[in-house]
Chains A and B, each alone.
Chain A
Amino acid sequence: MSEVALRPQGLDEALAERRHELRSPEVVMAPRQLGAARLTRYSFSRTLLRRAAREGWQARLVELDMDAEGRGHAIYRTEAGDRVFDFVAFTTTVDESLHTDRVIAEAWEVCGALVDGAVDADYLEVLRREVPRQEDARLDPRVLVLTRGNRSVRFFGYLVDRLAAGLQPEADKVADAGYILRSTAFYGNGKFGMRSYLGYPEGHPLRSPYRAQFLCAWMFRELGYDQVEHCARARGGDRAVRFAGDWRRYFGLGNATGLGLVPYAFKHPRVLNAWAGVRELALANVRSLPATPKRLDTLRRWVDRAVVHFETIGGGDRPPWLGPTTLAGRARRVRARIDEVAGDPAPFDALFRWAEDEDVETCELVVSLLVELDEGLDDDLVDHFLRVDEEVVVDPLTTAADLRSLLGERYAWLDGLDLEGDGHYWWVISDNSDEPRRVVRSALEPDNHDVAIDVARRLHALGRCLDDLPDDAAVGTLLAEAPHHASAVRRLLGGGQPYGEPRDDACAAGYLPLEVQRFQLAMYGMDNYSPKSTDWLRVTLFQGAPRCDDLGPETTDDWVWPPRPTEASA
C-alpha cells in the first residue's frame, strides 16, 4: 500500500465523517473547557521526541565556553538524517532585581538561536552580535528560532551549591520547582529575517508546526543542566558531581507566557481546529476500544503516574484552576472509577462519560489520560493533519443570502454573547518588545492602534449589515462599498471547521486570557500551569523528558508527569 493510500483524507474530512463520535464544538471550544486542557501524547513536545527517537536523531553538546559563573556560550548539535541543527546560546548573569518573566524585560541571562546547519567561527560572531539584541536583531534564513530566558532565581544557585559539594538536590528543597532555566519566547516563522515556516522544503525534519521551536526548547533545557554542572565543577573541583539518578531528567524548562498567544488563537482558526481536532479524533478512537488487560494496565499506570506526580509536587489550588494536591485527589478518583468500569463492554467510553459529569479539570485530565491509549493515529498522519492551508478564497458572487445562512449555521453561538457597543477592552501592541496588551477602552481610545482580534464583534457587525441587503446582493459588491467587512467575510467563508473558534469575545469585560492560553500551552506539551494574573502564567515543559544522551531506539514515550525524586531514587 502506498503512503498516499494510507492518507485517504484530510483532517476536515476525518472530522466530518466521524462528527457523531466526537465531542461537540460547543463543549470543546467553551472557554472553561479550553482553560482545563492538558497535554496529550500528540502535544508537540511529545511528537518531537518520538520522531527524534524513531528516526535515530543524535544530539550532543559540541562546545561550551563559560567562566565560573556560567557566562559565555554553548553550542548543541542535533543530527537529524542528513541535516544538522545547531542551537547556540549566549549566557550571562543579570542582577536579581532585573529578573522578570515578562516578555518586555530588557535583560536576559540566556539568549539563543536554532540554526539550520553547522555554525562556524565566523557565523558564531554574527550570532553573538545579533542574538542578544532579540527583537532588534537582524537575522537571516539560516536561523529558524530565536529565544531567551533567565535562570530560576530560587534554584539555580542552590543546585550549583549542592553539586559543587558533591551532593544531589534535596527533594523537599525543590518543592514545585520543575526547571532550572525559564524561557519566555520562541520566535520563528520569518520574524527578524529568520526562515519562514512555509519555506522549509519537503522532507525537512522540522517541517511540522512548532517542531523547530520545540527542538530549540529541548536544547534550552539541556543547557540548564550543563550550566549548573559547569558552575559546580568550577566551584567544587574534584568534589563536584553531576546530576545523578532521577535528578538527571527531573527538571524541565520553565516558560512564562503572556498575552502574545491570544491574538494568534483568534487569528488562526484552522490551526486551532487542527490542534483540537487531532485530540478529539484520538479520544473518539479510544472511547470505541474494547477492554483488554493490557490497555487497562496501561491506563492504570498512567493514572498512577499522575497521582504520584501531582502528590509529590504538592501545593494548593492555583485559581482559577486546581492545584497539584487537588489534582492528585481527582486522579485517585479516576483510578477508582477505572476499576468500576473495567468490566464494561466499552470501559473507556464509560470512564469518559463519568468524567464529563465531573468538573472540567477532571474531565480534561481523563481526556489526556485516555488519549495515551490511542492506536489509531500515527505520528505521520498527525503531522499531515497539523499542516493546514490557511488561504481563504472569497468568491465575489457569493450572495448575502448565502452569507446569512452560513452565519446562522457556523456562528449561532454569537447569539450568546453581548456584542453590542464597542467592547470593554481593545488590544494593542506595546512599543516595548512588541508585546500585545489589552486596554480598557474608557481609559484610552484605540485611535487606529487596535489589533483586530475582535472576531465575534466583526461577525456580529457583518450580520447586522447583511440584514439590510437583498438576498441576491453579491459579496463582491458589498466589499467594494464596505471593505471594513472584509475580514469578517473571509472568516465566515473560510470557517466551517468545528474546532476553529474559541467561543468567546476577546474584548468583553469578563474575558479571561488564561483560558485560551492554557489550551495552546497544553497543545504545545506544557504542564504545571501556574497563573500569575488574569493575563500571564508560568508553565513547565519537557519535565522528565529524555536528555540528549538518552536519545536512542530505546527511548520511551512515558516520561511526562515524573515523580519528584527522593533521596533513594537519586
Chain B
Amino acid sequence: MAVTVAPREVVDEIHRASRALGLNADLADRLAVEIAFCEVHHGGGLAAWADLVAADGDRLADAAHVPFRMTGAEVEARTTGTARIDLEPAVPLAVLARSIRDLDRRGICCTPSPDGRPGTDLVAALDLAVGDPDPTADARIAERSQDALNHGVTVDADLWRLLRGRSHDFLVAESVLDAAHVEGEGGI
C-alpha cells in the first residue's frame, strides 16, 4: 500500500518524530530536510530513517550529525583540495543526500555519488574533492522537486503510519498542558 504525501509533510513528521526520539531541534531540522530530499529524489528516505530508529544505541543521533561533519570536511577540502570522512558505523545515504547535492553546487565532488542509489544504501566513507559543479544537476533536481510539490510524493503506507505514530509523541497531551496552567485563556 502506498500513500501520497506532500514533501513538507515528510519534513514536519521526520522533524517531530526525531525530536521525540531525543534529537535537538537543529539536528532534527537538518535530518528532516535530508530525508525528505532523499525520498523525493532517490526513494528510500523513510525506510532509511526507520532502519536507524530500529537500530540499537544512538544510531539516529550519530547519523543526524553527519551533515554537520560534512560542513567541517568541506572547510578542509576547500583549504587543501580534498577531505575524507570515515563513517563507522556506515550511515544510510538518506541522511546525507541533500548535503552531497549542496556540496556539488559549491564545486565539491563527493565519492560515492548518490546517483541511482536508494536512500537505504549504506555509506561507510565519503571522499570530498574540489571539482566542477555538474551543470545539469540543478535543472534535473528542480524538475523533480517541482513535480513532488505539485503532485506529492508516494511513500509506503506502513512506513508513513509508523512515522506518524512516532511524530505524535512530540506533541504534549492537552491534559498535561492544562495541569501545567498553560497560558492562553488569561486576561490582558
Interface residues of A (CB under 8 A from B): 104, 138, 140-141, 189-196, 198-201, 258-259, 319-320, 393-397, 425, 428-432, 434, 437-440, 443-444, 448-450, 452, 474-477, 479-481, 483-487, 514, 531, 533-536
Contacts and interface: CB of A to CB of B under 8 A. Distances in A.
Interface of B: 3-9, 19-20, 22-27, 29-30, 65, 68-69, 71-75, 78, 102, 106, 146, 148-152, 168, 170-174, 176-177, 180-188
19 contacts: A138-B3, A196-B150, A199-B149, A201-B150, A394-B71, A396-B72, A396-B74, A430-B171, A430-B173, A431-B168, A439-B183, A443-B180, A449-B171, A480-B68, A480-B71, A484-B25, A486-B68, A534-B187, A534-B188
A477 B74 CA distance: 9
A193 B4 contact: yes
Given A141-B151, A483-B65, A193 B6 contact: yes
Given A429-B172, A431-B173, A536-B184, A450 B149 contact: no
Given A140-B152, A201-B150, A320-B188, A474 B75 contact: yes
A438 B184 contact: yes
A412 B184 CA distance: 31
A372 B91 CA distance: 58
Contact of A439 (B150, B168, B182): B182
A439 B6 contact: no
Q: Which 6 A-B pairs have the closest CB atoms?
A: A480-B72, A190-B6, A199-B149, A199-B150, A452-B25, A476-B71
A196 B7 contact: yes
Contact of A396 (B8, B75, B149): B75
A474 to B, nearest CB: 4
A439 B25 CA distance: 18
A319 B188 contact: yes
A190 B71 contact: no
Nearest to A200: B150
B8 A535 contact: no
A483 B70 CA distance: 11
Contacts of B23: 448
B145 to A, nearest CB: 8
A274 B75 CA distance: 33
Contacts of B150: 141, 195-196, 199-201
A196 B149 CA distance: 5
Given A201-B150, A443-B180, A477-B72, A195 B186 contact: no
Contacts of B22: 448
B184 A437 contact: yes
Contact of A190 (B9, B20, B102, B170): B9
A440 B181 contact: yes
Given A444-B176, A450-B25, A533 B187 contact: yes
Given A431-B173, A431-B174, A437 B183 contact: yes
Contacts of B149: 190, 195-196, 198-199
Contact of A476 (B5, B6, B75): B75
Contact of B188 (A140, A438, A531): A531
A393 B24 CA distance: 21
Given A193-B4, A430-B172, A430-B177, A481 B183 contact: no
B90 to A, nearest CB: 19
Most central of B72, B75, B171 by chain A CB within 10 Å: B75
A432 B178 CA distance: 12
Given A434-B171, A481-B72, A534-B188, A190 B181 contact: no
Contact of A487 (B29, B171, B180): B29
B53 to A, nearest CB: 15
A487 B29 CA distance: 9
A443 B178 CA distance: 11
A480 B30 CA distance: 13
B183 A477 contact: no
Given A192-B9, A199-B149, 9 more contacts: A193-B3, A193-B152, A259-B184, A438-B183, A438-B184, A483-B30, A484-B24, A485-B26, A536-B184
